[in-house]
Each structure stands twice: as C-alpha cells, then as structure tokens.
Amino acid sequence: MDNFLRRGGLEVPEPVRRFLQGESDPSLRIEQYQEGDTLVVRVDLPGIDPETDVDISVSDDNLHIQARREEDAERMDKRGYRSELRYGERSRSIPLPRGVSQDGIIATYEDGVLEIRIRVPEQPETPTTKIRVVRTGGREANQSPEEPLT
C-alpha cells in the first residue's frame, strides 16, 4: 500500500497511512504453544518498559494482556519524520484450560519479547462418543430408513 501511495504522488497523513496499512488492529499478535504441562504465550513488544507498560491478569478462565507504547512527541516534530512502528494501546484475551491456578503463571521479558508460561493441570480424557449418521435419500425425516416410501 505504501508503494502505491508513493507512486501515485499522494501525501497521506501518518494516521491515515497507518490505517490503510492495517495498523489499526488493536489486538496483540501472539505465538502460543504447549511445552509438556506448560502453555507458553509469546508477544513481541519491543521498546516498552515491562514493569510500567504491560498489564497481565487472569479472570473468567482468560489470560488478559494489555500493553502500551507511547510515541515520542519530540521525534514526531522532527523534519522528515516517518515511523512504521506501532504505538498506542493493544490488548488480547486468551482462553485458558480449566483449573489453571494463578500461582502457576510466570511472565518474563527479554530482548523485546514478553513470554508468559502457564502451568496447565492434567486434564482427564473425556470419552468420545461416535454419532451414527443415517442416510435419508429423500425420505421424510421422521420415516425409518427401512420403511418403503409411500
């Protein structure tokens, strides 16, 4: 989109350019996987202070992550200013398996990546019940497949 705007010779204000490039999505992008009995959630959050700019909480069996990144007003006033970085507030809620204890959650921040490790309790396997599908072949729904059509 940016190349299209430049080739067309259009000068587009920064907020409009960001919107057109799909940067208006307020949710955080995550990577999630299970490692043994631990659910791992990773979020790229470069350029933030994890102690003041990130809020992590658990409620209603959901992990809530909220992060803020403020744009430096001094830089915005500089001549030729251009930024492709994401600023503002972003959030994400991730459903957790039943029985997760808040005591089993550890969050770390290293090299711009927030990593949340959640100990997942062992879930009992639920039995699977196979449901039989009956071919009706144009028969009425309340008619048995063995009954002849009338």
Q: Which phi and psi angles does 55 have, rounded to 5°? A: -120, 125
The residues, ordered by sequence, that sit 6+ positions from 53 with a Cβ below 8 Å of its Cβ are 45, 67, 68, 69
Give the DSSP per-residue string, 29-70.
Answer: PEEEEEETTEEEEEEE-TT--HHHHEEEEEETTEEEEEEEE-
User: How far is the C-alpha of 13 from the C-alpha of 82, rounded, in Å?
Assistant: 10
Give the pLDDT confidence of 21-67 residue by residue, as tens digits. Answer: 555 556 788 999 999 999 999 999 988 899 999 999 999 889 999 99
* Nearest to 113, CA basis, from 21, 20, 46: 46
* Nearest to 33, CA basis, from 122, 107, 116, 123: 116
- Residue 17 pLDDT class (50, 70, 90 cuts): low
User: How far is the C-alpha of 9 from the C-alpha of 5, rounded, in Å?
Assistant: 6
Average pLDDT, the chain: 80
The more confident residue out of 141 and 80 is: 80
- The continuous run of DSSP H or E covering 95 comes out as strand 88-95
